[in-house]
Amino acid sequence: MSLKDRCPIIYFKELGDERGHLVVVEGRQEFPFDINRIFYIYGSDAAVVRGQHANKESEFVLINVSGKSKVRITDGTEKMVVELNQPNMGVYLPKMVWKDMYDFSSDSVLLVLASTHYDAQEYIRDYGEYLNLMKVNHV
């Protein structure tokens, strides 16, 4: 399966009316995993690169609920870039993909829904080690 197929963009239904918009994300209801953790990132500017890791166990969905950012994703062989720029869109990241988040707008609030509780041990933060685990030499 291609990287694009493994990291699909998810569009959430907007339940808007004249009062504004409302987006619902319910674990297991049209969502790829049970949500065990949420965190959000804000105050990162255009010069910052975050992420720079892969996860052995965690799956994520990233949503820019305000502003925009970009996510560069690779499996060591293929690469793709997603711009998150609508509060009703997210990108799904399966286990063992390497991701960088960057190009944050000043109003960016990047919401992350995760399948696991935090465990620093399941993070791979060295790209060389990641490529070794993926059994590839370069990208």
**What is the smallest separation between the CB atom of 21 and ligand TYD, expressed in angstroms?**
26
- Establish if 50 lies at the interface with ligand TYD (CB under 6 A): yes
- Establish if 95 lies at the interface with ligand TYD (CB under 6 A): no
SS (H, E, C) 68-93: CEEEEEECCCCEEEEEECCCCEEEEE
Residues acting as catalytic residues:
53
Q: Specify the residue, 14 or 68, whose C-beta has the smaller distance to ligand TYD.
A: 68
Name the closest residue to ligand TYD (Cβ): 50
SS3 98: strand
Helices (H), the chain: 3-6, 127-134
Q: Specify the residue, 50 or 68, whose C-beta has the smaller distance to ligand TYD.
A: 50
- Establish if 51 lies at the interface with ligand TYD (CB under 6 A): yes
**Rounded CA gap, 97 and 48, in Å?**
20
Burial 61-92 (b: 16+ CB within 10 A, else e): bbbbbebebebbbbbbeeebebebebbbbbbb
Query: Can you tell me which of 41, 63, 84, 96 binds ligand TYD, judged by CB under 6 A?
Result: 41
Query: Can you tell me which of 22, 39, 126, 132 binds ligand TYD, judged by CB under 6 A?
Result: 39
Residues that bind ligand TYD (CB under 6 A): 37, 39, 41, 50-51, 118
